Amino acid sequence: MHEELKIIVYPDPRLRRVSKPVEAFDQNLSALAQRMFELMREARGVGLAAAQVGHNIRLFIANPTGKPEDDRVYVNPELFEADGEETGEEGCLSLPNLNAQIVRAPAVRMRAQDLAGKVFEQSETGFLPRIWQHELDHLNGILIIDRMGPTARMESRKLLKELEDRFAAEAAGTAVGARATRAAGVGAKSAM
């Protein structure tokens, strides 16, 4: 079901949507999380939000070590008790080749649900809270470019323009392909 998933890239408008709470804790949710881990590993990431694969639901995964036993799934996450400020370098799988210094809280408490819907709480310091905050931003339609300082934003203009141009070209190609399909007599119903 989720095999066709891929990591979507800026400026795809789905990255700007606020994600809705998860209500169905079923096999589809588990399959989505599993496919997200595959995509995250292929891209050599440490976290991935469902919004980054085109599913605007409040779910993200994280693995700060890369070891399978450290895979974590967070459904309907809420952060609280954020303490302090720390600047650190972040990248984003939806903004390839862009790294920026981002200010985050180094100590955070999280309340979330697992894939069965069971509520849990977790307190962490260090790298994992940075991942949590980054992925939670995705669930709220916020990207690291929104948190970058003015100098970093100026320095990344060329890369962002390239991503915007590539997205526009792919969108135009998709529109041309859809028109050709309709012209060939293949209706929308057969595309479901």
DSSP annotation string for 45-86: -SEEEGGGGT--BSEEEE-SS--GGG-EEEEEEEEEEEE--E
- 135 carries an active-site annotation: yes
**Tokens 């804790």, located at residue:** 25
Question: Any idea what the Cα angle at residue 65 is, between residues 63 and 69, rounded to 5°?
Answer: 70
Instruction: Return d(Cα 12, Cα 191) in angstroms, integer.
Output: 22
Tokens found for residue 88 = 């650190």
Which ranges of the chain does DSSP label H, i.e. alpha helix? 27-42, 127-139, 144-147, 150-155, 157-183
Instruction: Return d(Cα 112, Cα 132) in angstroms, integer.
Output: 11
* Selected catalytic residue, list 86, 135, 162, 164: 135
Instruction: Return d(Cα 37, Cα 59) in angstroms, integer.
Output: 12
User: Who's near 52: CB < 8 A, 6+ residues apart?
Assistant: 7, 8, 15, 93, 94, 138
Kindly list the catalytic residues.
135
